[in-house]
Amino acid sequence: MKPDILRYSCQMALPGFNEQAQIRLQQARVLIVGAGGLGCPAAQYLTSSGVGTLGIADYDVVSASNLHRQILYSPADIGQSKVAIAIKRLREQNPDTKLVPHVEKITSDNVLGIIQHYDIVIDGTDNFETRYLLNDACVMTGKPLVYGAIYQFEGQVAVWNIVYDENTRSPNYRDLFPKVDPTQIPNCTEGGVIPTLAGIIGCMQANEVIKYITKTGDLLVGKILIFDAQNMQSRIIKIGTTSKTPVRSLAATITIPLISALELKEHMDDDSIDLVDVRTERERDAFDIGGIHIPIEELEGYLAYFTDPKTKVLYCATGNRSEEAVKLILKRIPDANVFSLEGGLRAYLEK
């Protein structure tokens, strides 16, 4: 099928970007994991550029705190599936792009089955467990992974896992970050992020995908671009030419017991649960919903408390840190009766 000459005429006029390059885009299959601050602009530009098949994976719903940076959504969409809304808007943008929804959490059980249908994957996630899982799955299946991350005023972009031959790959995420303690790094909601940064980094990710598919330009392979939105400066750090970190299996995804904000509110006036606030002292002083205070970095010293059979509900600002805290407790005490408040105080106050 010939490309729409009028629609794509400006990009097809580029040096080295001809009709054949546009056909490659039409035939390409791209998966975006995470329909948030990074995934929204990446999806918009890949759709508008004429990518043939675009998969979008996310199991979350739109919330009010998303709107300043997740530009596919409006206040009327709050509470609705991000994937459903994103696909509706993108279909209006370019009816010729095949849009594939994946309204499910990416886990060790389904990740290989999902990514096998795509040529390249964009990491638009905001948690380290999924980030490592995507990286490992792409290494095992030989899929390139376009990494992006944002926090406050700084963003990062890189392309992992380009296959050179049967035995040689470019560096992957584990070559740069062998291990990260997620409890020490707050997410965007907790640490803040300037909204325009999400657009800049998401567009850079889309740009790397287009370059890879059309075989134009110099990919961010074996290096990482770091961008500072405060001074509008960027630098590229070289990592190396080949990976030194083989991946042969996937770590099992731990299922975190969750309690919804509505369920918690139903039990707030009885004595059936104990609340545990895992936020910082500063956050606790500003506002809390009761319970005892055990900052997540001090949790190891209080593990004996969680051997008591009474239900414990851990909470933080958004649910990310409390999930990590529950995960840590269950690794040490597998039969602990612990839950994480789903969506954290943000969800609790919105209900």
* DSSP-assigned states of every residue in 57-82: E---B--GGGTTT-TT--GGGTTSBH
Residue carrying the six token digits 């296959």: 163
Per DSSP, the residues of 26-53 read: HH-EEEEE--STTHHHHHHHHHHHT-SE
Distance CA 298, CA 350 (A): 29
Question: pLDDT digits over 77-92, tens only?
Answer: 988 999 999 999 999 9
Neighbours of 261 (CB within 10 A): 20
Average pLDDT on 45-70 reads 93
How far is it, in rounded angstroms, from Cα 229 to Cα 102? 32
What is the pLDDT, as a whole number, of residue 333?
Answer: 94
> For residue 182, is pLDDT > 70?
no
Say how many residues make up the chain: 351
**CA–CA distance, 104 with 83 (Å, rounded to integer):** 10
Dist CA 33 CA 233 (whole Å): 27
DSSP state of 221: B
The model's pTM: 0.84
Residues with a known catalytic role: 188, 316
Can you tell me the mean pLDDT for 50-75?
A: 92
Average pLDDT for 7-23: 90
Give CA–CA dist 149/329, Å, rounded: 27
Residues of the chain with pLDDT > 90, as a percent, come to: 75
Residues 6+ apart with CB under 8 A from 24: 213, 214, 215
Task: Name the pairing type of β-strands 338-341 and 120-123.
Answer: unpaired
Type of residue at 252: A
What is the average pLDDT across 289-314?
94
State phi, psi for 233 to the nearest 5 degrees: -115, 150
| Beta-carbon contacts of residue 315 (< 8 Å; ≥ 6 apart) | 275, 276, 277, 278, 279, 289, 291, 322, 340, 341, 344, 345, 348
39, 202 contact by CB (below 8 A): yes
pLDDT at 158 over 60: yes
In this structure, are residues 1 and 26 in contact, taking their beta carbons and an 8 Å threshold? yes
pLDDT number for residue 185 = 57
Q: Which residues pair with 148 in a beta bridge?
A: 157
CATH topology assigned to domain 258-350: Oxidized Rhodanese; domain 1 (3.40.250)
Q: What is the pLDDT of residues 245-288, one digit of tens each?
A: 989 899 888 788 999 999 999 988 888 899 999 998 988 999 99
Q: How far apart are CA 90 and CA 43, in angstroms?
A: 8
Residue 19 phi/psi, 5° resolution?
-60, -35
Domain with CATH 3.40.50.720 in the chain: 9-238
The CATH code for residues 9-238 is 3.40.50.720
Mean pLDDT of the chain: 92
Q: Please, where in the chain does CATH 3.40.250.10 lie?
A: 258-350
Contacts of 140 (CB under 8 A, 6+ apart): 112, 247, 248, 249, 250
Helices marked H in 60-155: 82-93, 111-115, 128-141
pLDDT at 166 over 60: yes
Beta strand segments in 166-294, E: 168-169, 223-228, 233-238, 258-259, 273-277, 292-293
Residue-level pLDDT at 302? 95
The tens digit of pLDDT for each residue in 187-212 reads 555 567 899 999 999 999 999 999 99
pLDDT over threshold 90, residue 126: no
Flag whether pLDDT at 317 surpasses 90. Answer: no
What's the pLDDT score for residue 180?
67
Helix (H, G, I), strand (E, B) or coil at 319: coil
Tell me the mean pLDDT in the region 175-191: 68
Both tokens of 144, joined, read: 């390139």
Q: Distances from the Cα of 293 to the Cαs of 122, 197, 276, 307, 321, in angstroms?
A: 37, 33, 6, 17, 14
Q: What is the pLDDT of residue 65?
A: 81
Instruction: Quickly state the pLDDT bin for 120 (edges 50, 70, 90).
Output: very high
Residue 161, pLDDT score: 96
